[in-house]
A and B are shown apart, each in its own frame.
Chain A
Amino acid sequence: MAEVLIKNGVVYDPLNGVKGEKKDICIRDGKVVESVTNPKVIDAEGRVVMPGGVDIHSHIAGGKVNSGRLFRPEDGRKGLEAKTKVCRMQSGYSVPNTFAIGYRYAKMGYTFVMEAAMPPLAARHTHEELVDIPILDNAALPLLDNNWMTMEYVNGGDMDLLAAYVAWIMKATKGFGVKIVNPGGTEMWGWGKNCSLNDTVPTFDVTPAEIIKGLAEANEKLEMPHSIHVHTNMLGHPGNFEITKETYDLVKGVNTVKDRQVMHTTHTQFHSYGGTNWGDFESKADAIAGYINQNDHATIDIGSVILGDTTTMTADGPMEYSLYQITGRKWTNHDVELETGSGITPFLYSGKSPVNTIQWAIGMELALLVEDPWKIALTTDHPNAGPFIGYPILISMLMSKKRREESSADMHKVIYDKALLPSIDREYDLNEIAIITRGMTAKALGLHEHGKGHLGVGADGDVAIYDMSPEETDAGKIQKAFLNTKYTIKDGQIVVKDGEVVATPDGKTYFVTPECDDKLTDEMMVKLKDKFDHYYTVTLNNYPVQDAYVPNPYEIKTQMRG
Chain B
Amino acid sequence: MVEVTDVVCSLCGCVCDDIVVEVEDNKVTKVKRGACSVGKSKLMGHNRIKSPAIRVNGELKDCSYDEAIKKAAEILAASRRPLLYGWSSTVCEADKVGVELAEELGAVIDNTASVCHGPSVLAIQDVGLPSCTLGEVKNRADVIIYWGANPAEAHANHMKRYSYVSKGFWTEEGKKAKKLVVVDVRATKTSKMADVFLQIEQGKDYLVFSALRAILYGHADVVPDEVGGVSKKDLLETAEMMKGAKFGATFFGMGVTHTGARQNNIVNAIQMTRAAHTHTKFTITPMRGHYNVAGINQVCTWETGFPFAVDLTRGYAWYNPGELSATDLLIRQECDAALIIASDPGAHFPGESIKHLAKIPVIQIDPFPNPTTEFADVVFPAAVSGVEAEGNVYRMDNIPIRLRKLIDSEYPEDEAILKRILDEVRAIKEKEGN
* A/B: CB atoms within 8 Å of each other: yes
Contact A91 B18 (CB under 8 A): no
Which listed residue (B138, B140, B392) contacts A537, Cβ 8 A?
B138
B129: interface (CB < 8 Å) = yes
Bound complex: CA A132 to CA B133 (Å): 25
Chain B residue with Cβ nearest A95: B305
Bound complex: CA A456 to CA B113 (Å): 52
Which listed residue (A331, A335, A537) contacts B274, Cβ 8 A?
A331
Residues of chain B within 8 A (CB-CB) of A190 are 136, 140, 247, 281
Q: Which of A78-86, A211-219, A397-405 contacts B (4 or more CB under 8 A)?
A: A78-86
Chain B residue with Cβ nearest A129: B302
A98: interface (CB < 8 Å) = yes
Contact B132 A333 (CB under 8 A): yes
Bound complex: CA A154 to CA B131 (Å): 28
CB contacts under 8 Å to B, within A46-75, are 61, 63, 65-67, 69-73
Contact A541 B281 (CB under 8 A): no
Contact A332 B131 (CB under 8 A): yes
Which listed residue (A89, A90, A96, A132) contacts B96, Cβ 8 A?
A132
Contact A536 B132 (CB under 8 A): no
Bound complex: CA A388 to CA B305 (Å): 17
Contact B312 A191 (CB under 8 A): no
Chain B residue with Cβ nearest A77: B319
Q: Which of A3-11, A117-125, A268-276, A361-369 contacts B (4 or more CB under 8 A)?
A: A117-125
Contact B138 A337 (CB under 8 A): yes
Tell whether A80 pairs with B130 under 8 Å between CB atoms, given A98-B302, A337-B136.
no
Bound complex: CA A77 to CA B125 (Å): 13
Contact B124 A82 (CB under 8 A): no
Which listed residue (B274, B281, B398) contacts A192, Cβ 8 A?
B281
Bound complex: CA A122 to CA B395 (Å): 11
Q: Which of B51-59, B74-82, B161-169, B362-370 contacts A (4 or more CB under 8 A)?
A: B161-169
Tell whether A122 pairs with B398 under 8 Å between CB atoms, given A76-B317, A80-B316, A192-B280.
yes
Q: Chain B nearest CB: distance from A70 CB in Å?
A: 5
Q: Chain A nearest CB: distance from B291 CB in Å?
A: 14
Bound complex: CA A91 to CA B301 (Å): 10
| Proximity bits, A309-325, B CB within 8 Å = 1, else 0 | 00000000000010010
Contact B140 A333 (CB under 8 A): no
Residues of chain B within 8 A (CB-CB) of A66 are 298, 301-302
Q: Chain B nearest CB: distance from A218 CB in Å?
A: 24
Contact A89 B133 (CB under 8 A): no
| Proximity bits, A534-562, B CB within 8 Å = 1, else 0 | 11111101100010110000000000000
Chain B residue with Cβ nearest A325: B278
Contact B281 A89 (CB under 8 A): no
A349: interface (CB < 8 Å) = no
Chain A residue with Cβ nearest B167: A534
Chain A residue with Cβ nearest B278: A325
CB contacts under 8 Å to A, within B30-82, are none
Contact B139 A535 (CB under 8 A): yes
| Proximity bits, A321-356, B CB within 8 Å = 1, else 0 | 100100000111111111001001100000000000
Contact B131 A333 (CB under 8 A): yes
Chain B residue with Cβ nearest A330: B128
Tell whether A539 pairs with B6 under 8 Å between CB atoms, given A73-B319, A337-B133.
yes
Contact A334 B133 (CB under 8 A): yes
Tell whether A332 pairs with B129 under 8 Å between CB atoms, given A66-B298, A81-B316, A125-B394.
yes
Residues of chain B within 8 A (CB-CB) of A67 are 129, 398
A128: interface (CB < 8 Å) = yes
Tell whether A89 pairs with B319 under 8 Å between CB atoms, given A332-B129, A338-B135.
no
Residues of chain B within 8 A (CB-CB) of A122 are 398-400
A507: interface (CB < 8 Å) = no
Bound complex: CA A63 to CA B399 (Å): 9
Residues of chain B within 8 A (CB-CB) of A537 are 133-135, 138, 161-162, 399
Q: Chain B nearest CB: distance from A164 CB in Å?
A: 22
Contact A121 B301 (CB under 8 A): no
A303: interface (CB < 8 Å) = no
CB contacts under 8 Å to A, within B369-393, are 390, 392
Which listed residue (A88, A337, A538, A548) contacts B401, Cβ 8 A?
A538
Interface hub of A80, A95, A324 (most chain B Cβ within 10 A):
A80
How many residues belonging to B are interface residues under a CB distance threshold of 8 Å? Answer: 63
Bound complex: CA A89 to CA B306 (Å): 12
Contact B127 A331 (CB under 8 A): yes
Residues of chain A within 8 A (CB-CB) of B307 are 70
Tell whether A333 pairs with B130 under 8 Å between CB atoms, given A66-B298, A69-B302.
yes
Bound complex: CA A70 to CA B18 (Å): 30
Residues of chain A within 8 A (CB-CB) of B283 are 333, 335
Chain A residue with Cβ nearest B162: A537
Contact A192 B277 (CB under 8 A): yes
A92: interface (CB < 8 Å) = yes
Q: Chain A nearest CB: distance from B20 CB in Å?
A: 11
Tell whether A542 pairs with B8 under 8 Å between CB atoms, given A69-B305, A92-B305, A132-B302.
yes
How many residues belonging to A are interface residues under a CB distance threshold of 8 Å? Answer: 62
Residues of chain B within 8 A (CB-CB) of A191 are 140, 246-247, 281
Tell whether A538 pairs with B301 under 8 Å between CB atoms, given A89-B103, A335-B136.
no
Bound complex: CA A125 to CA B401 (Å): 9
Chain A residue with Cβ nearest B246: A191
Residues of chain A within 8 A (CB-CB) of B126 are 330
Bound complex: CA A493 to CA B265 (Å): 52
Contact A132 B402 (CB under 8 A): no
Residues of chain A within 8 A (CB-CB) of B92 are 128
Residues of chain B within 8 A (CB-CB) of A192 are 277, 280-281
Residues of chain A within 8 A (CB-CB) of B274 are 331
B303: interface (CB < 8 Å) = yes
Residues of chain A within 8 A (CB-CB) of B314 are 82
Bound complex: CA A535 to CA B162 (Å): 10
Tell whether A542 pairs with B17 under 8 Å between CB atoms, given A83-B103, A129-B302, A330-B127.
yes
Bound complex: CA A79 to CA B317 (Å): 10
Bound complex: CA A125 to CA B96 (Å): 14
Contact A121 B303 (CB under 8 A): no
Bound complex: CA A333 to CA B246 (Å): 17
Bound complex: CA A546 to CA B297 (Å): 22
Q: Chain B nearest CB: distance from A341 CB in Å?
A: 8
A97: interface (CB < 8 Å) = yes
B351: interface (CB < 8 Å) = no
Residues of chain A within 8 A (CB-CB) of B133 are 121, 334-337, 537
Residues of chain A within 8 A (CB-CB) of B138 are 337, 535, 537
Q: Chain A nearest CB: distance from B301 CB in Å?
A: 5
A99: interface (CB < 8 Å) = yes
B259: interface (CB < 8 Å) = no
Bound complex: CA A488 to CA B18 (Å): 48
Tell whether A541 pairs with B5 under 8 Å between CB atoms, given A122-B400, A192-B280, A331-B127.
yes
Which listed residue (A70, A124, A536) contacts B400, Cβ 8 A?
A124
Q: Chain A nearest CB: distance from B345 CB in Å?
A: 24
Bound complex: CA A539 to CA B280 (Å): 30
Bound complex: CA A344 to CA B400 (Å): 20
| Proximity bits, B1-25, A CB within 8 Å = 1, else 0 | 0000110100000000110000000
Question: 4 closest Cβ contacts across the A-B interface?
Answer: A337-B135, A91-B305, A82-B315, A192-B281
Binding site for A on B (CB under 8 A): 5-6, 8, 17-18, 92, 96, 100, 103, 121, 124-136, 138-140, 161-162, 167-169, 246-247, 274, 277, 280-281, 283, 297-299, 301-307, 312, 314-319, 390, 392, 394, 398-402
Sampled A-B contacts (8; CB under 8 Å):
A70-B297, A81-B316, A125-B394, A331-B274, A332-B129, A335-B283, A336-B132, A336-B135
Q: A96-B305, A337-B133 are in contact. List 16 more A-B contacts (CB 8 A).
A: A70-B297, A71-B124, A89-B315, A89-B316, A91-B304, A122-B398, A190-B136, A190-B281, A333-B132, A334-B132, A336-B135, A337-B135, A337-B138, A535-B169, A537-B133, A539-B18
Binding site for B on A (CB under 8 A): 61, 63, 65-67, 69-73, 76-77, 79-83, 88-92, 95-99, 121-122, 124-125, 128-129, 132, 190-192, 321, 324, 330-338, 341, 344-345, 534-539, 541-542, 546, 548-549
